[in-house]
C-alpha cells in the first residue's frame, strides 16, 4: 500500500517505518556509513572508532509509572550506544518545548536526566532549547544524540555479521512493561495497573556481558519500538540463517500478559526501554546468562531461542504445544508515541 | 521577572533563553565541558579534540524564500561546528513529523538536506523518525547534531579567551535577511518582498579565514537567533574589554532595513543563518577581509568595529552622527520560530 501523506504508522518502528527509511532517508542520504535503523553508526575519526546515535523522544504522557521523558531520553541513547559495543561517553540534549509547560515540570525532567546521566556515567555536554506556540507541540520533545568509543574488535556487534547457526539468543528480562505502563497511564483508557516502565540504562549490564563472553558476543540490539519481534526480524531478514524462539522461555510479567490479552496486543510487539536481545556463541551462553543474573537489570534474564541453519531469512515462535508462528514486524502502529 | 510557565520568549535566543539555560540546564547538567549557549562543546576522545553541537529546527513556515527547514538544519549545525574552529565531519538527523505531512514535502526537505550536506562536505550518518498525531507538532521538526575535528590550537575560538583591546570585529555580509524573509512569508503579514534567507553553510568561507590569519583569529560565532546583538553581548558580557560597532559599517540590505523600520525591528536583533562574526588581531584584519571578499558568501564582508580597553563588559553602537547606543540582547521574543 502506497501513502501520499505521513500516517501514524510511519513512526511505529515496524514495517512502515522501515519502508520510509529505505525509500526516503537511505535513498537520499546515501553513504557507506549511514544507519537509520535506530542503532548507532560506526565512525572512524582520526584513527579512533566511535559510535554515534540519535533519538527523539515524544512519549505521551510525559510522566508515566517508572519514569518520565527525561530518563527515557538518556537511557534510550545510552542503550543505543551500548548495544553497538561502545562505551557511552557524551550526550547532547535538544529540547522543543510547548508554550505553557510548567517550569516545575521542566525542572523535574531536567533533574531526572541529570540523575540518569550520572548513574550511567555519561556527560550531557551540549544542548539547545526551542519554544513553539501552544498547540504546535505536545508539552515537550527531547532529542538526545550520543558519542561512545567502540573497541575495533566489536565493530560487528551492530550488524550481527558473525551470527551462525547454533548461536543462542538471550534477553535480560520480561518484555512489554514499558508499552503497557505508558498505555495504562493514558487518559483514554480506564485501566489501573501496577505495571512500571522498565526504562533503564543498560551499559553496566552490557559491560558484564562482554566481560563474560568477549568475542563470543555476536549481536546486540535493544528492543524498543516494535518490541522483541522488530529486533528479531531486523536480525534475520535477508540473512543466511533462521531464528527459533521458545514462546514459554520469553519472560512476560503476569500483569502485562493480562493487559495485552485484554487489549488484543502481542507482548512480543510491545515496546521496552530496558531490554536487550543478545546473540552469543553456544559455549558462551551459560556464562552470559550468569553474568546477567548477577546484575540488578538482569535478574529475569533467559535464553529464549537459537539461530538455525533451516528456514533461512525467517523467524518462528515455537509454542508450548509445539506449534510454529511466524515472527514479523508489527505492520502498522500499535501504540503511538511510546518513546 | 519570574515565570512559572514556559513562554515564547524562552526560545528567543535572547535574555530569557540565557536565564533559562543558566537556571535550569547548567544548574543540573553541571560539568566542566557543558556548553548550552548554542555553539559547540570541545571534547577529548582518545586523545583527539572533537567539537560536538546540537540544534533543533522548528522554523515556520517550513518552506521560505531562499530555503527550507532542510538546508537550515544542515547549515545551522555545520556552522556551529565551523565557528568553533572545527572541520565538520558527521551529522545525525532526527525527524519529528506531524501526521498528515505530504510525503512530497518530506521528500523535498530530505533532498535539500542531502544536497546541502554534500555541498558542505559532511555526511549524514545516523537518524531517527518519530510521528505524532495531527495538531501535536507543526508539520516537521528536525534535530541535527554534529561532530567535527578541532585542531587543538583552535580550542580558544569558541570562548574568545584570547580577545584583547585593539582586535578588529568583522562580519561576512548583510544582517537580518533570514529573519525578514521568514517573517514576510508568514501568512499573517500582508507583505510582499524580494528578501531571501541567507541560509548557507559557512565552513568553506571559514576555512579561508583560518588560512589568511591562522593564530590571528580570536573568536567566531554565527549570528542566528538574537542576531548580531546577541552574539556581541555574549562576547563582551562579564569580560575585561568593551566593544564598539560603527553602525554605518554593518551591511544591511535596503529591503531589510525598510521592512524592519515598517515593523519596528532593529536589524541587529534579527536572525541570520549565513552570517559569522569574527574577531581577529589588528594586523590580520585586512587579510581576513580580503579572504572573505574572495568567497561567494563573503562578497559584502566588512570590518564593523573593534575591541576596546574602555567600557569593560559593555558594547556600544556608534551612530553616523557620533551618538552611542548600548548593545544588549533582545529581551523577549521578536520573531518566534525563526529557525
Distance from CA of A124 to the nearest CA of B (A): 6
The pLDDT of B216-228, averaged and rounded, is 95
Q: Do B336 and A114 touch (CB under 8 A)?
A: no
Whether residue A58 has pLDDT greater than 60: yes
Whether residue B316 has pLDDT greater than 60: yes
**CB neighbour class for A240 (10 Å; exposed up to 12, middle 13-18, buried from 19):** exposed
Distance from CA of B103 to the nearest CA of A (A): 5
How far apart, in whole angstroms, are the C-alpha atoms of residue B27 and residue A217? 40
Q: Does an H or E element contain B90, and which?
A: strand B87-98
Structural domain count, chain B: 2
On whether both A196 and A250 belong to a single domain, the answer is yes
Summarised one tens digit per residue, pLDDT across range B73-107 is 999 999 999 999 999 999 999 999 999 999 999 99
Q: Is residue A204 part of a domain?
A: yes
On whether both A271 and A177 belong to a single domain, the answer is yes
Residue of B39, B57, B127 best to disrupt the A interface, most CBs of A under 10 A: B127
With beta carbons under 8 A apart, name residues in chain B contacting A21.
127, 129
Q: What percent of chain B is predicted at pLDDT more than 90?
A: 82
On whether both A290 and A213 belong to a single domain, the answer is yes
With beta carbons under 8 A apart, name residues in chain B contacting A136.
60, 137-138
On whether both A197 and A120 belong to a single domain, the answer is no
Lowest mean pLDDT among A37-41, A69-73, B258-262: A37-41
Q: Is residue A12 part of a domain?
A: no
Using CB atoms, pick whichever of B104, B126, B137 lies closest to residue A136: B137
Whether residue B14 has pLDDT greater than 90: no
DSSP 3-state helix, strand, coil percentages of chain B (rounded to 5)? 35, 25, 40
Q: Decide which of B101, B130, B154 is a domain's last residue.
A: B154
Q: Do B103 and A5 touch (CB under 8 A)?
A: yes
Would you tell me how many other CB atoms lie within 10 Å of the CB of residue A36?
25
With beta carbons under 8 A apart, name residues in chain B contacting A56.
94-96, 128, 130, 143
How far apart, in whole angstroms, are the C-alpha atoms of residue A121 and residue A123? 7
Q: Residues 139-178, chain A: which have Cβ within 8 Å of B?
A: 141, 143, 145, 147, 149
Whether residue A234 has pLDDT greater than 80: yes
Residue of A2, A54, A226 best to disrupt the B interface, most CBs of B under 10 A: A54
Q: What is residue A36's predicted lDDT score, i.e. its pLDDT?
A: 67
Residue of A130, A144, A186, A224 best to disrupt the B interface, most CBs of B under 10 A: A130
Q: How confident is the model at residue A1 (pLDDT cuts 50, 70, 90)?
A: low
On whether both A53 and A202 belong to a single domain, the answer is no
Mean per-residue pLDDT over chain A, rounded: 93
The pLDDT of B230-244, averaged and rounded, is 96
Q: What percent of chain A is predicted at pLDDT more than 70?
A: 96
Q: Is residue A337 part of a domain?
A: no
Residue of A126, A142, A226 best to disrupt the B interface, most CBs of B under 10 A: A126
How far apart, in whole angstroms, are the C-alpha atoms of residue B131 and residue B75? 24
Q: What is residue A32's predicted lDDT score, i.e. its pLDDT?
A: 83
In what order do the strands lie in the sheet containing B48-57? Answer: B41-45, B48-57, B140-149, B87-98, B123-132
On whether both B75 and B188 belong to a single domain, the answer is no
Mean per-residue pLDDT over chain B, rounded: 93
CATH code: domain of residue A182? 3.90.650.10
CATH code: domain of residue B114? 3.30.1330.10
Q: Is residue B281 part of a domain?
A: yes
Q: Do A11 and B97 touch (CB under 8 A)?
A: yes
On whether both A309 and A223 belong to a single domain, the answer is yes
Using CB atoms, pick whichever of B34, B125, B149 lies closest to residue A33: B125
Q: What is residue A14's predicted lDDT score, i.e. its pLDDT?
A: 78
Q: What is residue A189's predicted lDDT score, i.e. its pLDDT?
A: 65
Beta strands, E only, chain A: 41-45, 48-57, 63-64, 67-68, 87-98, 123-132, 140-149, 168-171, 217-222, 242-246, 276-280, 302-308, 315-318, 324-326
Q: Which residue has the higher pLDDT, B220 or B335?
A: B220
Question: In sequence order, which residues have a C-beta less than 8 Å from that of residue A296 and are 6 or more positions away?
Answer: none
Whether residue B189 has pLDDT greater than 70: no
Note the ipTM here: 0.94
Q: What is residue B232's predicted lDDT score, i.e. its pLDDT?
A: 97
Using CB atoms, pick whichever of A24, A54, A125 lies closest to residue B41: A125
Q: Do B46 and A48 touch (CB under 8 A)?
A: yes
Beta strands, E only, A14-139: 41-45, 48-57, 63-64, 67-68, 87-98, 123-132
The pLDDT of A84-108, averaged and rounded, is 97
Q: Residues 93-132, chain A: which have Cβ within 8 Å of B?
A: 93-104, 106-107, 110-111, 113-114, 117, 123-132
Q: Is residue B206 part of a domain?
A: yes
Place of cell 569580560: B239
On whether both B306 and B173 belong to a single domain, the answer is yes
Would you tell me how many other CB atoms lie within 10 Å of the CB of residue B242?
19
Q: Is residue A162 part of a domain?
A: no
Q: Does an H or E element contain B149, and which?
A: strand B140-149
Q: Give, in degrees to the nearest 5, the angle at Cα A154 between A150 and A156.
A: 120
With beta carbons under 8 A apart, name residues in chain B contacting A45.
45, 48, 50, 89-90, 147, 149
Q: Residues 247-306, chain A: which have Cβ within 8 Å of B?
A: none
Q: How confident is the model at residue A313 (pLDDT cuts 50, 70, 90)?
A: very high
With beta carbons under 8 A apart, name residues in chain A contacting B17.
129
Q: Is residue B188 part of a domain?
A: yes
How far is CA A125 from its chain centroid?
A: 23
The pLDDT of A33-44, averaged and rounded, is 79
With beta carbons under 8 A apart, name residues in chain A contacting B52.
90, 92, 125-126, 147
On whether both A181 and A93 belong to a single domain, the answer is no
Q: What is residue A232's predicted lDDT score, i.e. its pLDDT?
A: 97
Look at residues B221, B220, B278, B168 and name the one whose alpha carbon lies nearest to residue B13.
Answer: B221
Residue A227's φ and ψ, nearest 5 degrees, are 65, -165
Residue B302's φ and ψ, nearest 5 degrees, are -150, 150
Q: What percent of chain B is predicted at pLDDT more than 70?
A: 96
Q: Is residue A159 part of a domain?
A: no
On whether both B136 and B66 belong to a single domain, the answer is yes
Can you say whether the dihedral through the CA atoms of B318, B323, B329, B330 is positive or negative?
Answer: negative
Q: How confident is the model at residue A33 (pLDDT cuts 50, 70, 90)?
A: confident
Interchain contact A35–B (C-beta under 8 A)? yes
How far apart, in whole angstroms, are the C-alpha atoms of residue B316 and residue B319? 9
On whether both B139 and B175 belong to a single domain, the answer is no
Q: Decide which of B89, B122, B154 is a domain's last residue.
A: B154
Q: How confident is the model at residue B16 (pLDDT cuts 50, 70, 90)?
A: confident
Summarised one tens digit per residue, pLDDT across range B156-186 is 898 899 999 999 999 999 999 999 999 998 8
Could you tell me the residue range of the domain that residue B126 belongs to? Answer: 31-154
Whether residue B38 has pLDDT greater than 60: no
Q: How confident is the model at residue A307 (pLDDT cuts 50, 70, 90)?
A: very high
Q: What is residue B36's predicted lDDT score, i.e. its pLDDT?
A: 67
How far apart, in whole angstroms, are the C-alpha atoms of residue B40 and residue B83? 8
Using CB atoms, pick whichever of A5, A10, A45 lies closest to residue B129: A10
On whether both A229 and A185 belong to a single domain, the answer is yes
Q: What is residue A188's predicted lDDT score, i.e. its pLDDT?
A: 63
Asked whether the beta carbons of A12 and A333 are under 8 A apart, the reply is: yes
Q: Decide which of A154, A178, A209 is a domain's last residue.
A: A154
With beta carbons under 8 A apart, name residues in chain A contacting B99.
5-8
Amino acid at each position: 500500500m502506497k501513502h501520499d501523506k505521513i500516517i501514524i504508522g510511519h513512526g511505529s518502528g515496524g514495517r512502515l517505518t522501515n519502508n520510509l527509511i529505505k525509500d526516503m532517508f537511505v535513498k537520499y542520504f546515501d553513504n557507506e556509513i549511514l544507519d537509520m535503523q535506530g542503532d548507532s553508526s560506526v565512525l572512524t575519526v582520526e584513527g579512533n572508532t566511535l559510535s554515534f546515535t540519535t533519538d527523539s523522544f515524544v512519549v505521551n504522557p510525559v510522566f508515566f509509572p517508572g519514569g518520565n521523558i527525561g530518563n527515557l531520553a538518556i537511557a534510550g541513547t545510552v542503550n543505543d550506544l551500548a548495544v553497538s559495543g561502545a562505551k557511552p561517553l557524551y550526550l547532547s540534549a535538544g529540547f522543543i518545548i510547548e508554550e505553557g509547560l510548567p517550569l516545575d515540570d521542566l525542572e523535574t525532567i531536567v533533574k531526572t536526566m541529570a540523575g540518569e546521566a550520572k548513574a550511567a556515567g555519561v556527560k550531557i555536554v551540549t544542548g539547545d532549547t526551542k519554544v513553539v506556540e501552544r498547540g504546535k507541540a505536545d508539552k515537550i520533545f527531547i532529542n538526545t544524540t550520543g558519542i561512545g568509543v567502540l573497541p575495533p574488535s566489536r565493530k560487528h556487534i551492530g550488524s550481527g555479521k558473525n551470527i551462525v547457526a547454533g548461536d543462542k539468543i538471550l534477553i535480560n528480562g520480561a518484555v512489554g512493561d514499558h508499552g503497557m505502563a505508558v498505555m495504562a497511564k493514558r487518559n483514554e483508557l480506564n485501566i489501573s495497573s501496577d505495571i512500571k516502565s522498565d526504562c533503564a540504562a543498560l551499559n553496566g549490564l552490557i559491560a558484564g556481558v562482554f566481560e563474560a563472553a568477549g568475542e563470543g558476543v555476536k549481536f546486540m540490539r535493544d528492543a524498543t519500538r516494535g518490541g522483541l519481534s522488530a529486533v528479531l526480524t531486523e536480525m534475520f531478514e535477508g540473512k543466511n540463517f533462521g531464528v527459533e524462539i521458545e514462546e514459554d522461555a520469553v519472560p512476560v510479567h503476569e500483569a502485562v500478559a493480562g493487559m495485552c490479552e485484554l487489549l488484543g496486543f502481542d507482548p512480543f510487539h510491545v515496546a521496552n526501554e530496558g531490554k536487550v536481545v543478545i546473540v552469543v556463541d553456544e559455549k558462551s551462553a551459560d556464562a552470559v546468562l550468569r553474568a546477567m543474573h548477577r546484575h540488578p537489570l538482569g535478574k529475569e534474564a533467559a535464553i529464549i531461542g537459537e539461530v538455525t541453519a533451516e528456514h533461512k531469512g525467517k523467524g518462528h515462535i515455537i509454542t508450548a504445544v509445539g506449534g510454529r508462528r511466524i515472527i514479523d514486524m508489527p505492520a502498522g502502529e500499535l501504540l503511538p508515541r511510546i518513546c
